């Protein structure tokens, strides 16, 4: 038995409730409200106590069976229309954010928007979100950045996972200092040391490729530079110790190993150990291992992954990774547009240039290369049209390339700006 039936058990008014929204009064039938039991007014019918009713409305009069709501009376007219038609419409002159707050209060879902207002609603929401990001401050922006809040919550959850584990306090303190450079002076010093070793490793890798630093033995066989080898071993030792320490104090080893940044750290040291193992195996001069040298060279080139370790210390690089991860649709469209343009212009340039003996565009595959460097405005100049019609097609190819590349770049840049601002706010919160 619901609360209203206790006071008016045999009254014919049991089929109605009286609603007072900001002074606007309306009598509503139970049957209409029962059509949407998940809404606020629909849930009132299921209340069995006054306390339950007051959780859904601001005040309640048992004698008049009147429910009071301190909300916008003008918007409530649209709510009444929703109960009658099952569709909600946008309110003229009402901010889209306020509209979302109102329908959320009354328990109305966005899917109930009529088709005439649905597209306009999503457009206004996108504009509102873009303005919120552009402003860069304010409570509304902080509340709209759900992903930043989620990341902070994830960090808090990681810290809470230490409770009840071995050496919880020590591991928690080391973990926080490794993850949050702004936590203390020692944490900042550790971050600077890690960044310095990364830079030294990258410089050593670049210097190693210079012919002036190459050395040979008595048999004219190229050998490693001992100074560069020393720095290389020292950097790898530091990276390995850092990775093992982070793994040892991590609240969850599985979660730690699945993190993209930690995968990069592992890939930056693995080539060294695999190369060392290959060198040991190659000492026996086994004929089955004749390709080990090529494998070693490839593995040494994989040291370039150490450059990605800078992402741990750079909000910009982390934002770039998040942008590419969340812009797969835009990047896919860019590749699709370029592929269509390259295929079309390569065929066109082949048709007009194949009769000319001076032209190098004598096949469509060569036209692919020309169209690629032309549409991306690289223009190496190694392949170019010589006929008048070929130059006209080349002009159209370059113009179309500019337009095609520019279309999705704006969205990608906006997303990068959003993620970068989020990363900076997250660092401030930490």
CA distances from 107 to 40, 110, 189 (A): 5, 10, 51
* Domains defined along the chain, listed by start: 1-70 (3.30.710.10), 87-144 (no CATH), 168-313 (1.20.120.350), 325-429 (1.10.287.70)
What's phi and psi for 28, nearest 5 deg? Answer: -125, 140
DSSP per residue, 65-122: TEEEE-S-HHHHHHHHHHHHHS-B-PPTT--HHHHHHHHHHTT--GGGB-HHHHHHHH
Give the distance from CA 344 to its chain's centroid.
34
- For residues 74, 77, 79 and 80, what is the CA-based torsion angle, rounded to 10 degrees? 160
How far apart (Å, rounded) are the C-alpha atoms in residues 49 and 60? 11
| Residue 64 structure tokens | 């008049």
Three-state secondary-structure class, residue 24: strand
How far apart (Å, rounded) are the C-alpha atoms in residues 175 and 200? 25
DSSP state of 424: H
DSSP state of 49: S
| 19 within 8 A of 11, measured Cβ to Cβ | no
Query: For residue 396, what pLDDT is reported?
Result: 93
What is the C-alpha end-to-end distance of the chain, expressed in Å? 51
| 317 within 8 A of 380, measured Cβ to Cβ | no
Query: Vertex 144, ends 411 and 99: CA angle to 5°?
Result: 100
Query: For residue 3, what pLDDT is reported?
Result: 41
How far apart (Å, rounded) are the C-alpha atoms in residues 176 and 183? 7
Contacts of 362 (CB under 8 A, 6+ apart): 350, 353, 354
**Would you write out the chain's pLDDT as a tens digit for each of its 430 residues?**
344 433 334 445 568 888 999 888 888 888 888 888 888 888 888 888 888 888 888 888 887 778 999 888 888 888 888 888 888 888 887 888 888 888 888 888 888 888 888 878 877 877 776 555 445 433 433 343 444 444 444 555 666 676 667 777 788 888 878 777 767 788 888 888 888 888 888 888 778 778 777 777 667 666 777 888 888 888 888 888 888 888 888 887 888 888 877 887 888 788 778 777 776 766 555 555 455 555 656 666 666 666 666 666 666 667 777 777 777 787 888 888 889 999 999 999 999 888 888 888 888 888 899 999 999 888 888 888 899 999 999 999 999 998 888 877 777 777 777 777 777 666 665 5
């Amino acid at each position: 038995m619901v609360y209203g039936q206790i006071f008016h058990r045999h009254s014919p008014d049991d089929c109605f409730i009286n609603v007072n929204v900001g002074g606007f009064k309306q009598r509503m039938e139970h049957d209409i409200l029962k059509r949407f039991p998940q809404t606020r007014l629909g849930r009132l019918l299921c209340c069995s106590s006054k306390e339950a009713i007051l959780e859904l409305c601001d005040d309640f009069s048992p004698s008049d069976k009147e429910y009071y709501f301190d909300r916008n009376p003008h918007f409530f007219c649209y709510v009444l229309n929703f109960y009658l038609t099952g569709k909600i419409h946008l309110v003229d002159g009402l901010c889209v954010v306020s509209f979302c707050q109102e329908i959320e209060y009354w328990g109305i879902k966005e899917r109930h928007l009529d088709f005439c207002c649905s597209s306009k609603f999503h457009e206004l929401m996108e504009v509102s979100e873009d303005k919120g990001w552009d402003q860069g401050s304010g409570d509304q922006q902080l509340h709209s950045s759900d992903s930043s809040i989620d990341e902070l919550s994830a960090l808090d959850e990681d810290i809470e996972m230490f409770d009840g584990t071995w050496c919880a306090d020590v591991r928690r303190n080391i973990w926080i200092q490794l993850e949050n450079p702004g936590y203390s002076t020692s944490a900042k010093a550790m971050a600077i040391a890690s960044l310095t070793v990364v830079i030294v490793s990258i410089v050593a890798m670049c210097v190693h490729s210079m012919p002036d630093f190459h050395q040979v033995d008595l048999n004219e066989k190229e050998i490693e530079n001992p100074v560069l080898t020393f720095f290389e071993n020292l950097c790898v030792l530091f990276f390995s110790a850092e990775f093992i320490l982070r793994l040892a104090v991590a609240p969850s080893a599985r979660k730690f190993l699945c993190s993209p940044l930690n995968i990069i750290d592992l890939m930056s040291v693995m080539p060294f150990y695999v190369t060392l193992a290959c060198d040991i195996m190659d000492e026996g001069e086994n004929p089955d291992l004749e390709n080990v040298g090529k494998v070693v060279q490839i593995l040494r080139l994989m040291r370039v992954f150490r450059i990605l370790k800078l992402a741990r210390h750079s909000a910009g690089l982390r934002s770039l990774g998040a942008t590419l991860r969340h812009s797969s649709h835009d990047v896919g469209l860019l590749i699709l547009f370029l592929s269509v343009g390259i295929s079309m212009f390569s065929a066109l340039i082949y048709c007009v240039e194949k009769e000319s003996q001076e032209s190098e565009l004598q096949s469509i595959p060569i036209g692919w290369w020309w169209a690629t460097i032309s549409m991306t405005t690289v223009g190496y100049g190694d392949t170019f049209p010589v006929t008048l019609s070929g130059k006209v097609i080349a002009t159209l190819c370059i113009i179309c390339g500019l337009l095609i590349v520019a279309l999705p770049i704006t969205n990608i840049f906006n997303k990068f700006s959003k993620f970068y601002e989020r990363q900076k706010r997250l660092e401030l919160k930490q």
